Amino acid sequence: MNTETNEALPSESPITILIAEDEESNYLLLKTILQKHCNLLRAKTGKEALALFKENCVDLILLDIKMPEMTGIEALGEIRKMNKDIPVIMQSAYVFDSDMDAARNAGASDFITKPINLKIFKATISKYCPSFVW
C-alpha cells in the first residue's frame, strides 16, 4: 500500500482521492493531474483499495476495472456494502458494454475510459466533488 500526501495543501481538509490502479504509467498520469489539488492514496490491487478505504477518510475513488487479486467490480461491490454514497468512478482501457453494465450494477457512480481525456476527466471529478479547485 502506498499513501501519498501533498504537504503543500492548505490545512482546511482538502479532498482525498483513492486511486486504485495497478499500472504504474496510468497511476503516474493521474498523480500528475491531481497531486497539486488534493491528497492521494494509491492501491495497486482491489484488496489494497478496500484496506485503504477502510482505514482512511476518502472523498472519491478512481477504480480500475482490471486489477490483480480482486477486480475493480468486485472491490466496488465490497465498498458499496460499507458505503452507498461515496463517488466511485470506474476506469478502463477496455470499454465493453458488459464491463460498463457490470460496473453500473455494482454501484459505480460514473465511468471514464483510458487514455484519459483531460477535459472529460476534470469535468467528471468536479461533478462529484464540486469543491474541487483545478
Residue 7 has pLDDT above 70, yes or no: no
Phi, psi at residue 43, to the nearest 5°? -120, 140
Q: Encode pLDDT of 54-81 as tens digits.
A: 999 999 999 999 999 999 999 999 999 9
Check whether domain 2-128 has CATH 3.40.50.2300, yes or no: yes
- Would you give the distance in Å from CA 79 to the centre of its chain? 12
Distance of alpha carbon 93 from alpha carbon 75, whole angstroms: 18
Grid cell 458505503 is found at 83
Residue 11 has pLDDT above 80, yes or no: no
pLDDT for the residue 93: 83
Distance of alpha carbon 33 from alpha carbon 115, whole angstroms: 13
Distance of alpha carbon 48 from alpha carbon 67, whole angstroms: 11
- Cut 0.85: pTM above it: yes
12, 59, 78, 123, 128 from 64: Cα distances, Å: 29, 17, 15, 18, 17
Q: Encode pLDDT of 92-105 as tens digits.
A: 887 678 888 888 99
Closest by CA to 39, choosing from 64, 10, 67, is: 10
Query: pLDDT tier at 13 (50, 70, 90 boundaries)?
Result: low
Is the Cβ–Cβ distance between 81 and 38 less than 8 Å? Answer: no
pLDDT for the residue 99: 82
Phi, psi at residue 74, to the nearest 5°? -65, -45
